[in-house]
Structure 1
Amino acid sequence: MTDLVFRAARVITDRETAACVRVRAGRVVAVDPFDAPVGDAQVIDLADDEVLLPGLVDTHVHVNDPGRAEWEGFPTATSAAAAGGVTTIVDMPLNSVPPTTDLPALAAKRAAAEGRAHVDVGFWGGAVPGNAADLAGLHAAGVFGFKCFLLDSGVAEFGHLDPAELREHLGVLAGLDALLIAHAEDATAITDPPSGRAYADFLASRPRAAEDAAIGLLIEAARATGGRVHVVHLSSSDALPLVEAARRDGVRLTVETCPHYLSFAAEDVPDGATQFKCCPPIREAANRDGLWQGLVDGLIDIVVSDHSPCAPELKRLDTGDFAAAWGGIASLQLGLPAVWMAARDRGIGLPEVARWMAAGPADLVGLRRKGRIRPGNDADLCVFAPDEEFIVDAARLRHRNPVTAYHGARLRGAVRSTWLRGAPVTGDHPRGRLLERGHA
């Protein structure tokens, strides 16, 4: 088999360097100096304006297949992922039907994805009332951890855990050394928003205090059980001192945020623009600055999409009613340029972005051969033009329905090609593999 060599003046390993990345049988076998001899290898020379990045790992994607494939499905979601430089996703246990809360549901999820994915796919299990006895079986079957909600999830088939149930489930998972990931908002601090188009009313209904209280509850449960806890889609920068103190005390706690919390500000969300609705909500510019500081300080570990699409009519774009609209941002294809543009404006480089969006998510779920360009890893690669600008057209994105909060935005950084195990992802032949914890 002929080797493949990617030669670039800018390659992101753990730093930025000029290099030749040699690939054989789908794996990186060497990272050599730029002028190293390549022998009879097939050489791909990157253009002067291109950078070779590790393929991104997105551990927060709602594919919704089976059961709600009209919202999103594996062919479209993984095609969008590849177009955005993402080579591995981990699929959330909701909003598919059935949710991934027992072994038959996991089998249904795998059947829906088999042979239909353009990138590699792993699966989260769900932690819901009444399924504590199912957790060990799902863990043994290879799910990467367990998602729970601490308030109504928005879908009837995926219930939320009360404080006693949280400790019960986390106690089981601590015995397995399995990861619990949690949607952290406290329902007692949330009010029903009034019907209408005012974004300020929706934002006021879900204050930062709701997140802060729920994160405090998670920290105490983790402290009591010794379990591992991960906070998903953090939007409240006020919670960061809680995170810092918990880690100082030895609590096993990690945190993610999302591109939309790092890109948008509440002051700029137009009234009636329900494509911006998500839970927890996009907050003020000062809060956004606090999240960026949390990333720089290492209190926030990773950045992942929380791609959560729905059928267009559920967004209530016709009325602009935030109270009635489904909450979720469709963004799987756009995370890298969105984060990169904002990072560069803050003097942050591509090595840091790659750490937050590739290496960090891979480490979170134990994907030892993903997220880094280094010998032995899968040759999952992204050819990225960091200076190219474009205007987002929702109709040209590859996820199923043409709705996104980024429509019309000018972003910087274009993905020119994506490679999965040393082969380009063209969209013609799905080659994604289904991954299991401990075997990927």
Structure 2
Amino acid sequence: MRKMILPPPPLFSALQQPAQHLLPYKTRKKGGGGRESARSSRRPQYCRDPAVHNALYTGDLQKIKSIFKDETTANLIIDSLAEELVWSAELGLWVLAPQKTHTSPLRITVSRGYRDCVKHLLLQGADVDAIVGGKAALHDSCANHRAECTRLLLNYSANPNILSEEGLAPLHLCTTQESLPCAQMLLEYGALVNQNTRDRRASPLHVAAKHGLDDHVKLYLCYGANIGHRNREGETALNSACASADKPEEAGRYYRVVKRLLESGADAQIAGRKNHTPLHNACSNCHIRIVELLLQHGADVNVSNCAGYTPVDCALHAVEDYLEGEPEKLIATLLNHGAAPINPKMLKFCVLSPRTMEVILNTYDRILSCDSWVEFVPSEVWQEHHVFYDSALCLLNQPRALQHLARCAIRKQLGIRCHQGIAQLELPSSLQEYLSLSLEGYLK
């Protein structure tokens, strides 16, 4: 069944009863901070009392002190009922179904940043590393960037490398800029900077790169993060950063992450899932600044992924999604770095961007056919840019201007060195721009 989780309803029915099934508990040796591997002989208690729940969720310290007075109460399992929307195949509609959730007093207070309440629970013997509801308290403090609670838990000997039931360490849950102090503390207390998630084998560096967290990336590299580590899909942190930079408003921070990784020795040519290189990913996101960085660090502009697509092909497929991102500049950059001539059949992907089409058509010494794209141009786009489209049709099977033919000859001679060679030619800047496929709004 497909599930849609709703916020839990108000807590209900004051009831405290013994558990029907034992939960594994790890206990702490008093004084030495060591851990026993054997399960405690005590049976965990489940609590559904609304007064207890409300005291924890609101951080009512006085009530918490009156309720949690010993180790048994400090380690209660908070049992609540949340309603989820579940698709019923039998009824053919979404229905609300009650679902039990478990957590602990320590997890609740930590996630909300109630430091004094957390300290009281720990003093009463709350198991700092207890996994309840799939996570330990340290997971919640990092996920919710509660730095003071993180430090308190670590001071009480919380395991900085403890894994959740999903196989995530606390460091893997530092996914926002606000979580940087938590990440710093975890490392200071012995967190493994190269610890991988259980399923995807992603390192903290992968996580930071995926979320565009430059300060985290810098921190992890300072602690010896393996920049070349590849996750289960074969992707490095650089792959993750380039693949995730898909929102123009976040372009700046991903650029900084990629720049730091490349300057620290990341390989720009390592391919990950589906043989996508970082350049494939950056082109798919129409991120020209990252593309330029990758090309400067040796990315192969003509490598193909498992589907046979080059970075240019990926960029062309993304044109319609990033019309405001000046895709024509990205295509020109790739062509100036030696991208192979673009198959005319690919022109249909950029009919909504006549500027991109102009760049491509100006790499041809003649226009043999428009059949591959002309029928895809919407009438309103044609009307708005009729000067360009009409000029393209007028040149069909006609010789191009001598100046254009000279441009084609020079570019062919320079090959993959166009971006460097053009700048070294003793020509006026206007001619250098012309050789670099500058735009005029029409073809000649």
Provide TM-score, normalisation by structure 2. Answer: 0.27
The structure that is strand-richer by fraction is 1
Provide TM-score, normalisation by structure 1. Answer: 0.27
The structure that is helix-richer by fraction is 2
The structure with higher relative contact order (CA 8 Å, sep 6+) is 1
